[in-house]
């Protein structure tokens, strides 16, 4: 499976998805002009990954900001990751948030409630 890498811009996050290195990262801000065009290839990559996932999948989210449209796509990604959890393989979400950013921490808690995956929270 080929890695998927997207460079960070002022309106979209850096994405690093690499099955062989067990690296799954979302870093930066997310408010792309066309959220579907940006996130659909990422969702497709995860759908392929779910067919033969690693024994343990840890996904790192270190987002400074995301808009409502992006949040819906993030839920879509987390929903795909639920399939790995259903296969009785480990999926853990590492949710990073700035120390004083209660809204971002609460967003992670909300996502955890919606999808039922284990989240670990890391202030930085």
pLDDT tens digit sequence for 46-70: 999 999 999 999 999 999 999 999 9
d(CA 22, CA 45): 14
pTM of the model as a whole: 0.96
Q: What is the pLDDT of residue 107?
A: 98
The domain containing residue 22 runs over which residues? 4-123
With cut-offs at 50, 70 and 90, classify the pLDDT of residue 34. Answer: very high
Q: What is the CATH classification number for the domain harbouring 102?
A: 3.30.750
Structural domains counted in the chain: 1
- The pLDDT of 80-105, averaged and rounded, is 97
């Amino acid at each position: 499976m080929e890695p998927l890498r997207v460079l960070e811009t002022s309106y979209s996050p850096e994405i690093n998805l690499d099955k062989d290195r067990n690296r799954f990262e979302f870093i930066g801000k997310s408010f792309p002009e066309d959220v579907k065009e940006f996130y659909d290839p990422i969702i497709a990559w995860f759908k392929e990954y779910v067919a033969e996932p690693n024994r343990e999948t840890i996904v790192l989210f270190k987002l400074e900001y995301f808009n409502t449209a992006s949040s819906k796509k993030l839920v879509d990604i987390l929903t795909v990751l639920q399939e790995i959890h259903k296969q009785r393989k480990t999926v853990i979400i590492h949710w990073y948030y700035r120390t004083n950013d209660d809204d971002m921490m609460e967003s992670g808690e909300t996502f955890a409630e919606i999808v039922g995956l284990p989240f670990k929270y890391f202030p930085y």
